[in-house]
Amino acid sequence: MATRSSTSSSADRLAPLMAHLLVGVGGLLMLAPFWFMFVFATHSRTDIFSLPPPLWFGDASLGNLQILTSRLPFWRNLGLSLYVAAASTGFTLLFCSMGGYAFAMFEFRFKRALFALVMGTLLVPSFMNMIPTFMIMNALGWIDQPRALFIPGAANAFGVFLVRQFVIASIPRDLVEAARMDGCSELGIYWRIVLPLLRPALGTLGLITFIASWNNFIGPLIVMRSPEMYTLPLALRALQSPVDTEWGALMTGSAIATLPLLVLFMLSSRQLIAGLTSGAVK
Amino acid sequence: MGQVTLRGIGKRYGSTEVIRGIDLEVQDGEFMVFVGPSGCGKSTTLRMIAGLESITAGELLIDGKVVNTLHPAARGTAMVFQSYALYPHMTVAENMGFALRMAGIGAAERARQVGRAAEILRITELLARFPRELSGGQRQRVAIGRAIVRKPSVFLFDEPLSNLDAALRVDMRIELTRLHADLGTTMIYVTHDQVEAMTMGDRIAIFHEGRLAQVGAPLDLYHRPANTFVAGFLGAPRINLIDCPSAHHALWQQWLQCQADRPSAGRAAPSRLGVRPEHLQVVPVGSGVPATVVMAEHLGDCSILHVQVAGIAGLFNLKSVRDSGTFAAGTLIGIAADAASVLAFDADGRRLA
């Protein structure tokens, strides 16, 4: 009995240790590519391929940046990426919040059918959209135009669904009716009452949209032709070739491309999650 | 002014008719209570007056003007919701001033009017807080304040006290009654609580299955209910009703005798008789109708006895003011009814006048 209890207690102590070890190793494996990206960004191509490879920061970052900017309109690509991601996020938040709110709160003809249609678009594989997207953008004359990247996705099924569920779960109908009785117009109710309360949902949706747009490779590949209209993922890919790839410059570009997301993530963690509706009813 | 007239008001959702032709006149300055069991249509009727539900039949007039299709904000009504419905992202002052802001009134004037309403409700120190920082009672005051600020001609209350605890509810009941006296504005108040209805209303409208069962002053309804539904709905413990099939029984005979003793004798024979628990007395065994105490609830100031009368299914309620605490289960007693207060109903449940 005594031995059994002692073995079980040592096993009890061992289990969390093993778990921590496992998570630690996993974490290291996840972080290693990032680490090497930042480290390689500060080394020249020859340093990178030396043995053993550099594990700590070097001093070639400025040189890398020079190569980067000479081979690519890098700052323009970066600006375009930011512009497309910001516009995508703005438009998505606006239209998805409107759509989700309407589907949650209003009664109108064909509501169920329309909602089913919107949700049905989630079932279409994105690859099936590639050629139609190109044809439509071509017909509109939007090839090589940034709007071809942020207008088509402005009202998407995922966003509409996310907002609709949030409205149903946490915006009481009484609030909308109270505002209506207070003389607020329908647009005013959406803007002054519903939108502020949607902040947690919009924060999540905004973050997801921004990241998706920032990392989007296929979209720009389909609609962008000239290198100065490339967004970052496409531009950095253009830096690679089978024979002459400037790995240091590529890593510098990648590192710079990662920074906005890191900043965004640090800024937006807490307050987006905090429930704003507490105290609304009861 | 705040006169509300309902002419044959009806509401239908698809093929289900939930409100069936309500005719009602609420006088200017009156405190009218809509009461009834859940699902009786009282809240729907209130929401139709507010403009939050469409009216599918009849006419709604406020101050003589048909407002059936008028926007809720243009009807001159203000509503206090059961959930309070305060805007969570606005301070108390912003909540109360929201309607004024929507009406395009400047910040200074808004602050003045909000301040005055806050004084009436004694919530001045809460103006800078957010709803989540308030207790239930405070939120209720803010919700009322938001209605007051609009200076409506009619206040609409949708079960405003049902989220409060019992003690606070009594306080707010008194406060609302005083507020009505101070403002003199028409108030329409929906509740399922008969105590609120009896104590607050100038008149009560009792709803039953989408119709008005009876409208009148509280005590009128209590003493002269139009039908068995009203008689049963008002009063706790419930009125005792006894059916015709037990006509041979002593209790029926005794109550019938009570009826016959009254001056307005010689009308149609009743098929149901009703007597309220406080109108039944305990008399010594041997006199009155013999009964057995099944359960006694001693409340201190009185006792409620549930008694079994031989030959009658179901228990009778008796409210005994004297002899509190002397009745145990199984005690044999005699019961007798007040001659004047026995009510008689016809086969359709209507009271025989």
Of B286, B248, B276, the closest CA to residue B340 belongs to B276
Q: Which residues of A are less than 8 Å from B51 in CB distance? A: 181
In total, the C-beta contacts within 8 angstroms joining chain A to chain B are: 77
Please answer yes or no on whether B52 and A172 come within 8 Å at the CB atom: no
Which pLDDT does position A282 carry in this prediction? Answer: 39
Q: What is the average pLDDT across B34-58?
A: 93
Examine the fold and report which residue of B204, B233, B262 is the final residue of a domain before the chain moves on: B233
State whether B139 and B191 are in the same domain. yes
Q: Nearest Cβ partner of B99 from A177, A182, A281?
A: A182
Bridge partner list, B13? B16
- CA B47 to chain centroid, in Å, comes to 17
In a domain, B352, yes or no: no
| pLDDT higher than threshold 90 for residue B93 | yes
With 90 as the cut, is the pLDDT of residue A128 above it?
no
Asked if residue B162 belongs to a domain, the reply is yes
Are B297 and B174 in the same domain?
Answer: no
Q: Are strands B16-26 and B4-13 parallel, antiparallel or unpaired?
A: antiparallel
Nearest residue to B96 via CA among B163, B145, B133: B145
Q: Which two tokens stand for residue B187?
A: 């108030």
Domain match, B82 and B221 both = yes
Identify the top-confidence range among B102-106, B319-323, B328-332: B102-106
Q: Give A95's pLDDT tier (boundaries 50, 70, 90).
A: very high
pLDDT digit string, tens, across residues A176-213: 999 999 999 999 999 999 999 998 888 888 888 988 89
Residues of B in contact with A183 (CB under 8 A): 73, 99, 102-103
> Are B9 and B59 in contact, with CB atoms under 8 Å apart?
yes
Considering only the beta carbons, identify the residue of B79, B82, B130 that sits closest to A279: B130
**Is the ipTM value over 0.90, yes or no?**
no
Average pLDDT over residues B328-342: 83
Measure B145 CA to nearest chain A CA, in Å. 13
pLDDT of residue B262: 62
Residues of B in contact with A279 (CB under 8 A): 86, 88, 130-134, 139
Residues B228 and B210 in one domain: yes
Same domain, B87 and B215: yes
Our CA-based measurement puts residue A127 at a distance from the nearest CA of chain B, in whole angstroms, of 42
Nearest to A167 by CA among A118, A191, A201: A201
Q: For B46-51, which contacts have Cβ atoms below 8 Å and span 24 or more sequence positions?
A: B46/B79, B46/B156, B46/B158, B46/B188, B46/B190, B47/B158, B48/B9, B48/B11, B48/B19, B49/B4, B49/B6, B49/B75, B49/B77, B49/B154, B49/B156, B49/B188, B50/A181, B50/B75, B50/B77, B50/B79, B50/B156, B51/A181, B51/B75, B51/B77
Q: Are residues B225 and B267 in the same domain?
A: no
Say yes or no to pLDDT of A6 above 80.
Answer: no
What mean pLDDT do residues B211-234 have? 93
Nearest to B86 among A180, A276, A280 (CB): A280
Q: Among residues B327, B273, B258, which one has the least CA distance to residue B295?
A: B327
Share of chain B above pLDDT 90, in %: 58
Q: Are A183 and B103 a contacting pair at CB < 8 A?
A: yes
Question: What global pTM score does this model have?
Answer: 0.81
B277 within a domain of the structure (yes/no): yes
* CA distance linking residue B47 with residue B55, whole number of Å: 10
The number of CA neighbours under 13 Å toward the Cβ of B291 is 30
Closest chain A CA to residue B146: A182
* Residue A70 confidence (pLDDT) above 50: yes
Residue A58 has pLDDT above 90, yes or no: no
Domains of chain A: 2-64 (no CATH), 72-238 (1.10.3720.10)
pLDDT tens sequence across B148-170 = 999 999 999 999 998 888 888 89
Whether residue B258 lies within 8 A of chain A, CB to CB, comes out as: no
Residue B173 lies in a domain: yes
Q: Do A181 and B79 touch (CB under 8 A)?
A: yes
Residues of B in contact with A182 (CB under 8 A): 73, 98-99, 102, 146, 150
- Looking at beta carbons, which residues of chain B come within 8 Å of A276? 88-89
Which residue of B lies nearest to A178 if distances are taken between CA atoms? B85
Q: Which of B89, B144, B150, B158 would you mutate first to test chain A, the one with the most A CBs within 10 A? A: B89
Give the total number of structural domains in chain B.
2
The residue of chain A with its CA nearest to that of B76 is A181
CATH number, domain at B261? 2.40.50.140
**Is B353 part of any domain?**
no
The answer to whether the CB atoms of B52 and A180 lie below 8 A apart is yes
Cβ distance A180 to B81 less than 8 Å, yes or no, reads no
Burial class for A9, CB neighbours closer than 10 Å (0-12, 13-18, 19+): exposed
Q: Is residue B350 part of a domain?
A: no
How far is it, in rounded angstroms, from Cα B276 to Cα B312?
A: 17
Closest CA to A153 of A109, A233, A99, A110: A99
Where among B233, B263, B283 does a domain terminate? Answer: B233
Task: Identify whether residues B208 and B334 lie together within a single domain.
Answer: no
CATH number at residue B71: 3.40.50.300
Judge whether residue B15 has pLDDT over 80.
Answer: yes
> What per-residue confidence (pLDDT) applies to B322?
66
Contact B143, B92 (CB under 8 A): no
Q: Which residues of chain B neighbour A178 with C-beta distances below 8 Å?
A: 79, 81, 85, 87, 146
pLDDT value at B184 more than 50: yes
Look up residue B236 and give its DSSP letter.
Answer: S
Same domain for B288 and B173? no
Q: Is the residue at B13 inside a domain?
A: yes
> Which domain, by its residues, includes B93?
4-233
Instruction: Assess whether B166 and B68 both reside in one domain.
Output: yes
A237-247 pLDDT, tens digit per residue, is: 888 877 778 88
| Same domain membership, residue B176 and residue B275 | no
Interface test with B, best of A174, A180, A181, A278 (most B CBs within 10 A): A181
**CA-based radius of gyration for chain B:** 24
Confidence class for position B324, pLDDT limits 50, 70, 90: low
Residues A34-56 have pLDDT tens digits of 888 888 888 888 778 888 878 88
Q: Which one is predicted more confidently, B11 or A248?
A: B11
**Where a domain ends, among B233, B260, B280?**
B233
Name every residue in A having a CB less than 8 A away from some CB of B: 172, 174-175, 177-184, 188, 193, 196-197, 276-282
- Whole-number average pLDDT of chain B: 88
B85 lies in a domain? Answer: yes
**Are both B225 and B279 inside the same structural domain?**
no
The predicted structure's pLDDT at residue B243: 80
pLDDT of A26 reads: 94
- Looking at the fold, whether B180 and B113 belong to one and the same domain comes out as yes
What integer pLDDT is reported at residue A93 of this predicted model? 94
pLDDT tens digits, one per residue of B122-134: 899 999 999 999 9
| Lowest pLDDT segment from A211-215, B89-93, B271-275 | B271-275
Please check whether residue B96 touches A, CB under 8 A. Answer: no
